[in-house]
Structure 1
Amino acid sequence: MMRSLWIAKSGMEAQQMQLDHISHNLANSGTNGFKQAHAVFEDLMYQNLRQSGANTAEGTQLPTGLQVGLGVRPVATSRQFSQGNLQQTDNGLDVAIQGKGFFQVEMPDGTIGYTRDGSFKLDNQGNLVTNNGYRVLPGFQFPTEATNVTIGQDGTVSFLRPPNPTPEVLQQIELADFVNPGGLDPRGQNIFVETAASGPPVTGVPNENSMGALAQGYVETSNVNVVQELVTMIQTQRAYELNSKAIQTSDQMLQKLGQL
């Protein structure tokens, strides 16, 4: 069997994987806090048909070798954590992070999830929660009569309780950051979780110690560049077509060989 068939097959599978990532990016171009991702590839092992630097029968040394690569494979997903655009919503419970950091939320199993989606809501008990009902940490429970909720750049959450004109401070939002945010595990629902690759979270107050500041009344939109994704899609399609053409050419060569 010609090696080119298997090499081109691996190329088609790799480009299909890249197209899967592009499709996912485009599908989430309107998702709050979404971070675009692309597949990362590496070449497969080589068949070493002639070793570089080997001695020949004439006593000379080969300056080059002869190696045949066996194709390509996807090995990782590279996620870009660059800042998305801030979109004004005029909703007092919407909060965007300007800079580094993640909001911390309590998952149903008691573990902590991390998100950049700050489109928060209140549940039936007055708790500040995500769109999926996950409680925002360290925990914010507003009384029924609370009005004029204010979230400062430093994460301080306060409200008014009529008829008292003095704001009452509830809690302060803490952000978390990671040495390697690319190592976080995406779980869907705009949630990431800690892994050994990401390292442990480093928590801190917004707008201090390299943590981003908070912007009330805004949400962070997806950082997907639609034009860039469309260009990458065209490149992926052309690469897929070229690999399929290599398979067709190998098949034609085998047919010629069978006719001899």
Structure 2
Amino acid sequence: MLRGFYTAASGMITQQRHQEALSNNIANANTPGFKADQSSSRAFPELFMQQMGSKNIPAKNSAKLRQQKPIGSLHTGVYVQEMVPNHHQGDLKETQTATDLAIIQSDVPDETGSLFFTVQNEAGEQRYTRNGNFTVDAQGFLVTNEGYDVLDESLNRIQTNGSDFTVAADGELEADGQRLGIAYVPDVNELTKEGNNLFRGDAGEVPAEARFRVRQGVLERSNVDELQAMTQMMESYRMFETNQRVLKAYDENMGKAVSEIGRLG
């Protein structure tokens, strides 16, 4: 009975993790460039049950032969194995703001490849983002809304001298010739998602065969499907309640068994 107790409890924890991921997706539905998290569950190893017994062998000296009869397998619960971001490109939104930029990729050599803006976090480390909702700081450098520096192709800060600048389709700033640091990741599944819409991992130069363009005054929306996320959240909640009822039934049966055994004693 205790094994069933833990199996139901693991189901509740798994659905809680699903709920947390879906809630975070919905909360970031209006965050430019946000990539929705998808949780994947995996079952714990199954236990294979066998009936143990013995058979008397008629002989001069009585002997017993051990027997094992397969009964079947017993599931021991599930757990959330990992959270995988969905890197599908979001819809575009016209803003007419010069500091808003979006990468539109039409063709990349790898099926799992994608392009990102290169930024520098507070620790001076390179990170990657699809959120092009940039601004210009007091010194005239292009930064993210969190204050992270946007880097050029030489990994230097980009000086715009104000918000009145023009970016060409290839990412070059027409005023001073600097080019946005567009990085290419062959397999986005190897990236690690961090806070503030940043990704950590290995990236390289854009392959010659890749086709993309940078649009100014445009933002890439979040790729969260709010209706689908709400539906999945309701389904997850119902599954949580089901596991909760099973857990309650186990608890009542255990209490009943203990009280009845106590009366017999």
Greater displacement, 77-86 / 38-47: 38-47
CA distance in 1, matches of 2:211, 2:18: 33
1:176 is aligned, of 183, 200, 203, to 183
DSSP 3-state at the match of 2:205: strand
- Report the counterpart of residue 165 of structure 1 in structure 2: none
Given that 2:117 and 2:129 are in contact with CA atoms closer than 8 Å, whether structure 1 keeps it comes out as: yes
CA distance in 2, matches of 1:204, 1:8: 48
User: Given the superposition, is the C-alpha separation of residues 255 and 30 from structure 1 closer, same or farther in structure 2, using an over 3 Å criterion?
Assistant: same
CA distance in 2, matches of 1:154, 1:111: 25
- Report the counterpart of residue 59 of structure 2 in structure 1: none
Given that 1:101 and 1:211 are in contact with CA atoms closer than 8 Å, whether structure 2 keeps it comes out as: no
DSSP 3-state at the match of 2:21: helix
Given that 1:39 and 1:74 are in contact with CA atoms closer than 8 Å, whether structure 2 keeps it comes out as: yes
Structure 1 residue 65: deviation in Å?
Answer: 5.0
Structure 1 residue 143: deviation in Å?
Answer: 3.9
- Report the counterpart of residue 84 of structure 2 in structure 1: 78
CA distance in 1, matches of 2:161, 2:239: 59
The answer to whether structure 1 residue 12 and structure 2 residue 30 are counterparts is no
CA distance in 2, matches of 1:185, 1:46: 31
CA distance in 1, matches of 2:86, 2:121: 24
User: Given the superposition, is the C-alpha separation of residues 101 and 257 from structure 1 closer, same or farther in structure 2, using an over 3 Å criterion?
Assistant: same
The answer to whether structure 1 residue 141 and structure 2 residue 159 are counterparts is yes
- Report the counterpart of residue 114 of structure 1 in structure 2: 128
Structure 1 residue 29: deviation in Å?
Answer: 0.6
Q: CA RMSD in A?
A: 2.5
Q: Structure 1 segments of 4 or more deviating over 4 A?
A: none
DSSP 3-state at the match of 1:93: coil
Which residues of 2 match residues 21-36 of structure 1 at below 5 A?
A: 21-36=21-36
Given that 1:175 and 1:211 are in contact with CA atoms closer than 8 Å, whether structure 2 keeps it comes out as: no
The amino acid of 2:180's aligned partner reads I
**Structure 2: stretches of 5+ with no match in the other structure:** 56-64, 106-113
Q: Deviations over 1:191-219 (max 9, x none)?
A: 1111xxxxx212228xx532532111101
DSSP 3-state at the match of 1:158: coil
The answer to whether structure 1 residue 209 and structure 2 residue 209 are counterparts is yes
Structure 1 residue 142: deviation in Å?
Answer: 2.7
Q: Deviations over 1:170-206 (max 9, x none)?
A: 2112311223212322221121111xxxxx212228x
Which residues of 2 match residues 1-260 of structure 1 at below 5 A?
A: 1-50=1-50, 66-99=72-105, 100-138=114-152, 139-143=157-161, 147=164, 149-159=165-175, 169-194=176-201, 200-204=202-206, 209-258=209-258, 259=260
User: How many equivalent pairs are there?
Assistant: 238
Given that 2:9 and 2:247 are in contact with CA atoms closer than 8 Å, whether structure 1 keeps it comes out as: yes
CA distance in 2, matches of 1:142, 1:74: 45
Q: Deviations over 1:27-75 (max 9, x none)?
A: 1111111000122111112222229xxxx979x997x652212111111
- TM (norm. structure 1) is 0.83
DSSP 3-state at the match of 1:203: coil
DSSP 3-state at the match of 2:173: strand
Q: Deviations over 1:127-154 (max 9, x none)?
A: 111112222112321346x84x211111
Given that 1:105 and 1:135 are in contact with CA atoms closer than 8 Å, whether structure 2 keeps it comes out as: yes
The amino acid of 1:140's aligned partner reads I
Given that 1:174 and 1:204 are in contact with CA atoms closer than 8 Å, whether structure 2 keeps it comes out as: no
CA distance in 2, matches of 1:257, 1:109: 59
CA distance in 2, matches of 1:109, 1:233: 36
The amino acid of 2:170's aligned partner reads D
- TM (norm. structure 2) is 0.81
- Report the counterpart of residue 62 of structure 2 in structure 1: none
